[in-house]
Structure 1
Amino acid sequence: MTKELRKIVIPEFIFGFNSRKLIGSYAKNLGAEKVLIVTDSGIISSGWVQEIIESLEASDIKYHVFSSIFPNPRDIDVMVGTDIFLEQECNFIVAVGGGSPMDCAKGIAIVATNGGHIVDYEGVDSVPYPGPPLVCIPSTSGTSADVSQFAIILNTMRLVKIAIISKKVVPDLALIDPELLTTMDDYLTACTGMDALTHAIEAYVSNASSSFTDLHALEAIRLISKNLLPLYRDRHDEEALNNMMLASLHAGIAFSNASLGGVHAMAHSLGGLFDLPHGECNSILLEHVIDHNFEFAKERYMTIAEALGVQNPCKETLIEAISGMRHTLGIKAKIDLGIKSDEIQKLAEFSLQDPCMVTNPTVMSKEDVIKVFERVLCDESKK
């Protein structure tokens, strides 16, 4: 392990309260003339976008707002956004929001420079040229798209989320401001927090992990174990705000460089086919994939249990701790979609094709994946 070559990719980032207000000066320094602000209606109503606009105007930078984005960003959203970017003669992109605006912004940057359709770039290292400068300002403590080399886009023809993994999609700058977390609702706080936990756990047990990513993954797990529930209960707890945003940053650095595993491969398929919140899918699947993987990465899962503060660490107590956290956060254990066996077959096939499955600590067969889906999709899945 110590002799293996490792490539680590991390964008420039500024972390701290009020960092969002630096966007005007940084955009100007990076050569912005006209900015496409990629966001969604919820972020606009929260007031954050207006602050970004004011900062850009103070630096005499023109802008255009694009907010027609679905919660799971679609290939259609990317293509419409690209057309607007080109029509408005923009040369810079600022993404404000959660994973949806940030991933959509990455997609727009790809197509604006490389042409074609966003689905053409599915997979690893399939993006030839870097896009225009991109600055991300995250509003959730979970997706970590602001520091990752991942973009997850819904392919509307196949109804599956595709992963685009390339250093070409790493933002040029992230302004990571914990204050933006104050406008998350309870369920978004819960789901994005569990998403960050899943990022950290899967990065730590990934077969592409390294001593560098291990440090960030374990620190993320420690921070989440102590701060997710306080933030869930009080969005004005400054210590919890700071530490959960910091946890998301650590987890993002870890998974961006170690990749993920079976939970995310299955969550991409489940969320893509049924348009479900990504963090919710991860939360529901996590304990079941751990149950399957445990014996193949036992020592690492034991270390994770210790980082979570689990007493008498073992497979059962680790799963109980994660299940208990999920329950306390109000995330259900199963989803009743009334789906049939042929749809589960399709979910399993999509999951096995997802690049995140490659770095799962052990091979999951189609039968293994089907069993997990059957456990979380209620009794309707057996009809």
Structure 2
Amino acid sequence: MKENFDFLMPSVNFFGKGVIQKIGDRAKMLNMSHPLVVTDKNLRALKNGPVAQTLASLEAAGVSYAIYDGVEPNPKIRNIEEAKKLYLAQNCDSIITVGGGSAHDAGKGTGIILTNGDDITKLAGIETLTKPLPPLMAVNTTAGTASELTRHCVITNEETKLKFVVVSWRNVPLVSFNDPMLMLDVPASLTAATGMDTFVQAIEPYVSTNRNEITDGQCIQAIKLVEESLREAVANGHNVEARTKMVEAEMLGGMGFNNADLGYVHAMAHQLGGQYDAPHGVCCAMLLPIVEKYNLIAAPERFAQLAKIMGENTDGLSVREAADLSIKAMRQMCDDVNIPRSIKAIGAKPEDFDLMAENALKDGNAFSNPRKGTKAELVQLFQEAYDQK
């Protein structure tokens, strides 16, 4: 555990029913005179949906705007290039993202190439940015990636089918908005996928080599909230209490991994998502029990504690026996919310595993994994995820 560490999060985070109404006033406080609203076509089309409410708040505050609604799942380089072109053509001065992780990452990516150079692939890595992004606010609509309050920007290079990460304190939005009421109509499958991303993003930093006592507390509470609420949110999306708890979990997990970092689950999931354009949360969930079983020998005490946090009875068990229960609990959560067990479900092919393992070890999330693996070991983990039933 680190003795010295920094701690990053947005300077202002609005949470709770109706906070979306504060967007316009906060935009004025930040001197946003003509922001680019970055979102996707589906959200924009929703009558009185998150985009409509965002625009209404801006209009009420007298703030004009332009809209880029071309964001795709696993946002591509072309998305941020299109958004940049519109930003410049419309003489925008700031960015407001509305959506889940894809919208937030696209907005961050747009800001990066506006101020730090046209080729974002050259900026992949940790703290590579030398110039600030345009003022950025993030309106969140899923309890998943926590990109609305983190320093991570994940973009897909379609030519290479490689997801890469730009990690920088400069990516952290100035303001985040999390209104649980925006999430009531999120479909069960998307609720499960994003919720599992929240689950993974609380577990990985808890066993990360960069963890600290502050992030431990955040991760512990996030895991408990997911255990209490994800199954109910999937079963009954209009359960406001469950949705609210999941947003709380997402925010806490995001704060945790923003500062303690992640591990091989995310490093490998990025390869699956880039190669097969698959949902990020599903990729993470399918890999979670397998990768953490591999990690267990590096931090058995931490995994034994995870079992307790997830509600397993560890009385009278050895550390190793208790640790094994944590893997069982992870698998049970995946099964309960209908996550496929095998990566065959997203079209994975064994002939791709070698390259994906090589790239996973280069991913910015790999360096804080508790167990240091080899390319051959990661190939084997992909194979296990392919073979599991």
Asked if Structure 1 and Structure 2 have the same fold, meaning a TM-score greater than 0.5 normalized by the shorter chain, the answer is yes
Distance 1:88 1:115 in 2: 20
Shift of 1:338: 6.1
Unaligned 5+ segments in structure 2 are 315-320
Show the 5 A alignment for 1:353-372: 353-372=362-381
Match in the other structure for 2:332: 324
Task: Name which of structure 1's ranges 190-199 and 322-331 shifts more when overlaid on structure 2.
Answer: 322-331
Contact 2:34 2:93 in 1 (8 A): yes
SS for the counterpart of 1:146 is: helix
Distance 1:374 1:246 in 2: 34
Distance 1:53 1:170 in 2: 22
Shift of 1:355: 1.5
SS for the counterpart of 2:134 is: coil
Contact 1:39 1:97 in 2 (8 A): yes
- Which amino acid letter does the alignment assign opposite residue 17 of structure 2? F
Contact 2:263 2:369 in 1 (8 A): yes
Q: Deviations over 1:220-278 (max 9, x none)?
A: 00110101111111112121111100000000000000110010000001110111100
Distance 1:102 1:329 in 2: 25
Alpha-carbon spacing, 1:255–1:339, altered in 2? closer, same or farther (3 Å): closer
The equivalent position to 1:314 in structure 2, one of 322, 339, 359, is: 322
- Which amino acid letter does the alignment assign opposite residue 37 of structure 1? V
The equivalent position to 1:88 in structure 2, one of 87, 90, 97, is: 90
Match in the other structure for 1:7: 6
- Which amino acid letter does the alignment assign opposite residue 324 of structure 2? E
SS for the counterpart of 1:151 is: strand
Distance 1:204 1:149 in 2: 18
Contact 2:205 2:257 in 1 (8 A): yes
Q: Deviations over 1:279-326 (max 9, x none)?
A: 000000000011101011111111111111012362332222111111
Match in the other structure for 2:29: 29
SS for the counterpart of 1:96 is: strand
Distance 1:343 1:289 in 2: 18
SS for the counterpart of 2:65 is: strand
Match in the other structure for 2:358: 349
Shift of 1:341: 4.1
Alpha-carbon spacing, 1:44–1:339, altered in 2? closer, same or farther (3 Å): closer
Distance 1:297 1:8 in 2: 24
Whether 1:374 and 2:373 are equivalent positions in the alignment is no
Contact 2:156 2:274 in 1 (8 A): yes
- Which amino acid letter does the alignment assign opposite residue 365 of structure 1? T
Return the TM-score normalized by structure 1. 0.96
Distance 2:349 2:97 in 1: 38
SS for the counterpart of 2:361 is: helix
- Which amino acid letter does the alignment assign opposite residue 33 of structure 1? S
Match in the other structure for 1:45: 45
Shift of 1:175: 1.0
Q: Deviations over 1:41-61 (max 9, x none)?
A: 221233211111111111111
Contact 2:272 2:348 in 1 (8 A): no
- Which amino acid letter does the alignment assign opposite residue 21 of structure 1? Q
- Which amino acid letter does the alignment assign opposite residue 23 of structure 1? I
Alpha-carbon spacing, 1:6–1:378, altered in 2? closer, same or farther (3 Å): same
Match in the other structure for 2:318: none
Distance 1:269 1:369 in 2: 12
Contact 1:291 1:315 in 2 (8 A): no
Distance 2:124 2:158 in 1: 14
SS for the counterpart of 2:370 is: coil
Distance 2:137 2:268 in 1: 29
Match in the other structure for 1:216: 218
- Which amino acid letter does the alignment assign opposite residue 17 of structure 1? K
Q: Deviations over 1:328-376 (max 9, x none)?
A: 1111100226655431111111111111110000101111111111112
Distance 1:273 1:118 in 2: 19
Contact 1:262 1:357 in 2 (8 A): yes
- Tell me the number of residue pairs that the alignment of Structure 1 and Structure 2 aligns: 378
Quote the sequence identity (%).
Answer: 33
Cα RMSD after superposing both structures = 1.4
Distance 1:136 1:341 in 2: 38
Return the TM-score normalized by structure 2. 0.94
Contact 1:261 1:357 in 2 (8 A): yes
Q: Deviations over 1:83-142 (max 9, x none)?
A: 111111001111010000000000111111223222221100111111111110111101
- Which amino acid letter does the alignment assign opposite residue 279 of structure 1? G
